[in-house]
Structure 1
Amino acid sequence: MTYVRNAWYVAAWEQDLPADAPAAMSILGEPIVLWRAGEKLVAMEDRCVHRHAPLSLGRCEGASLRCMYHGLRFDADGRCVEIPGQELIPPTARVKTYPALAKHSWVWVWMGDPALADEALVPPAVGYDDPDYILGHGFLDYEAEARLINDNLLDFSHLSYVHAQSFGTGPEFAGSLPRITPLPRGIRYERWLEGTFGAAMRKSDVPLDSWQTYDFLIPGVLLMWSANYPPGTAKALGHSPPEKLDAIAGLNFTSQAVTPTGEGTARYFFSWGPHCKYGDEAMRDGMMALADRAFGEDKTMIEAQQKVIARDPERPVMPTAHDKGVTLFNRLVQRLAAEEAEARAAAA
């Protein structure tokens, strides 16, 4: 499966990363150990240069990480700085490192050319440090390709069917097409639903116009906000975005990220919660309970889909009108991956 390497991948929730212990993660099939060297976040290959023991079973010692098999100690740049019983340290005693940083409550790791690791390319997610939103968070591990999860998030028409019992989205949702706009590193979706009564825990007794928009960005990050407005708002705005118009209810935000961990496996990170003007911690907890149910429905379907595909991986799919965003995003991935391959070949 093709994925872009010159991109920031989510490796962990920052608040879930231990303060004084290493943690293991795999991205694009590469085992990585995450740890803190003081204030610095470090991402290294999870393999000691000596006997190839996993460094994620090691011990943090200030600004260094010690392998707990034979005691070799490495600094934040991956250099071995101590070999017990041996004064001479070979210059080759070095572990591969990856650019890493914390932003929007996520730990991001750059999997491509380190010289191209630009913090400006970190998707503008919403983290726990944002005072406007009251968020919950979690993650799910999938026995399925990240590409299939991306496709799921790029085609929300499944909400009417996969999530009929959770989000309670009616068939009218799948019966309408969103406005899709290509972005330099992703796709933007925009959609008005007019005269609805909300869904799931946000049911309304009166009709509303509901607005939903999200960006789906390289390598697989969804940033979505939605809100409800008085009936007639969509027509009054000519079905353009509400921009700074105050919602009457339901303003909320979700950040989601799909990280390929290996062949046929992925980790799906998510947060969700209301704007502080439109909800509280109790509403957040209710939303997260709903998300747990709905994302479990996605997981059941996508893992079953993966098994069907594995039986005949070359059989083509049949696109529908809702696959425009899927097609545009996957073409973008193919183009960027091809450009990376050409750059590597030219540098060889």
Structure 2
Amino acid sequence: MSRCFPMNVWYAAAWDAEVKQALLPRTICGRHVVMYRRTNGEVVALEDACWHRLVPLSKGRLEGDSVVCGYHGLKFNAQGRCTFMPSQETINPSACVRAYPVVERHRFVWLWMGDPALADPALVPDMHWNDDPAWAGDGDTIHLKCDYRLVIDNLMDLTHETFVHGASIGNDAIAEAPFDVTHGEKAATVTRWMKGITAPPFWAKQLQKPGPVDRWQIIRFEAPCTINIDVGVAPTGTGAPEGNRAAGVNGLVLNTITPETETSCHYFWAFVRNYRLNEQRLTTELRQGVSGIFREDEVILEAQQRAIDENPDRAVYNLNIDAGAMWARRLVDRMIDAENPSHSRQAAE
């Protein structure tokens, strides 16, 4: 059976602050994982199933840097090797659990679920704004009961803001404005400029200047599931379309979506800004505000997944506005096919 997600990539598994010297279970790409920090601060990620009777190790406890199974007391070190078995001195050499490659970067803990020999840290998606001192912000995680690709579709086509988020970031200008789509081997970009428009409530509050604005949305997708969106507004005529955004306000919506199962996912997001950097109250207000906006998406996406499940034979259609999402899907499919050539041949037939 073919998967709907590639395995030989880095997936965000948690915010760095979530992983402590305690057992944290999570399901990534259909596999149960338990994470914890060693006493030296390094993050460990192990298969969450004891070698002996498959009881989740997350039901056990930490003893120093080792996990002790809560059923029969087997101990596993940070490399997944069993170091103790009850009532016997000889340890079965096959007694181990899988240890997953881990990288901490951009405030996230990233796991490699595929071939560990291919786990190159240089392949971690670029989300450097999340811990860049020139930017300030915060984010959260949403657990969604939907295929992770539905979230990608949602983020690659922001015309839905007009209809789903009309009270905050949406207005008619988004659905009416032209856009440009470009793509490469592993990335796709959707660029939309809305010139001389009325700022929607969210951005009017950030800019705090009367009059028409030029608004931009530049959506950058990196396969398989990271999307960084360059957003902002500036007073019309101050040069933002030509590259001078100094008179405006600029933010970045950072998104990376990790499949949990084929119909559920972990959605990690952050909103960062390059203005009023030292105002913690603004950071909190923005996180709360964006959380409310994304809750509106959550309702739509989970309803969409239910409809797909109930109507497996129904076709899904595309409009011009879906061009970015269509390219993102193609890029993901190429990654999946590269890992499973037989599936690629079957699809061609």
Given the two structures, how large is their TM-score scaled by the length of structure 2?
0.90
Distance 1:96 1:183 in 2: 35
Q: Aligned in 2, Cα 1:48/1:181: closer, same or farther, shift over 3 Å?
A: same
Counterpart pick for 1:53 among 52, 55, 64: 55
Shift of 1:342: 2.7
Shift of 1:193: 1.4
Shift of 1:230: 3.8
Q: Does 1:229 align with 2:234?
A: yes
Per the alignment, residue 157 of structure 1 pairs with: 159
Per the alignment, residue 173 of structure 1 pairs with: 174
Per the alignment, residue 214 of structure 2 pairs with: 209
Q: Does 1:341 align with 2:340?
A: yes
Shift of 1:166: 2.9
Distance 1:124 1:189 in 2: 18
Q: Aligned in 2, Cα 1:254/1:129: closer, same or farther, shift over 3 Å?
A: same
Q: Does 1:218 align with 2:219?
A: no
Per the alignment, residue 6 of structure 2 pairs with: 4
Q: Is the deviation greater in 335-344 or in 148-157?
A: 335-344
Per the alignment, residue 87 of structure 2 pairs with: 85
The answer to whether the Cα contact below 8 Å between 1:7 and 1:218 also exists between their aligned partners in 2 is no
Consecutive unaligned residues of structure 2, counting only runs of 5 or more, are 345-349
Per the alignment, residue 115 of structure 1 pairs with: 117
Q: Aligned in 2, Cα 1:92/1:47: closer, same or farther, shift over 3 Å?
A: same
Per the alignment, residue 347 of structure 2 pairs with: none
Shift of 1:93: 0.4
Once the two structures are superposed, the pairs formed by residues 18-167 of structure 1 within 5 Å of their partners are: 18=20, 20-37=21-38, 38-126=40-128, 129-167=131-169
The answer to whether the Cα contact below 8 Å between 2:220 and 2:229 also exists between their aligned partners in 1 is yes
The answer to whether the Cα contact below 8 Å between 1:21 and 1:60 also exists between their aligned partners in 2 is yes
The aligned amino acid for 2:203 is R
Report SS of the residue matched to 1:337: helix
Per the alignment, residue 283 of structure 1 pairs with: 282
The answer to whether the Cα contact below 8 Å between 1:215 and 1:223 also exists between their aligned partners in 2 is yes
Q: Report sequence identity in percent.
A: 33
- Please give the per-residue CA displacement for 1:307-343, whole angstroms capped at 9, x wherever unaligned: 1111112321111001111111111111111111139
Consecutive unaligned residues of structure 1, counting only runs of 5 or more, are none
The answer to whether the Cα contact below 8 Å between 2:48 and 2:56 also exists between their aligned partners in 1 is yes
The answer to whether the Cα contact below 8 Å between 1:34 and 1:43 also exists between their aligned partners in 2 is yes
Per the alignment, residue 317 of structure 2 pairs with: 318
Distance 1:292 1:236 in 2: 29
- Please give the per-residue CA displacement for 1:152-196, whole angstroms capped at 9, x wherever unaligned: 1111110110111232x1112011232222133221222221112
Distance 1:344 1:155 in 2: 29
Distance 2:285 2:240 in 1: 32
Distance 2:29 2:168 in 1: 32
Per the alignment, residue 330 of structure 1 pairs with: 329
The aligned amino acid for 1:262 is T
The answer to whether the Cα contact below 8 Å between 1:273 and 1:288 also exists between their aligned partners in 2 is no
Q: Aligned in 2, Cα 1:76/1:127: closer, same or farther, shift over 3 Å?
A: farther
- Please give the per-residue CA displacement for 1:5-35, whole angstroms capped at 9, x wherever unaligned: 11111110001212x1110111111111111
Distance 1:236 1:150 in 2: 26
- Please give the per-residue CA displacement for 1:267-316, whole angstroms capped at 9, x wherever unaligned: 11111132245672222222222211111100001111111111112321
Distance 2:36 2:106 in 1: 18
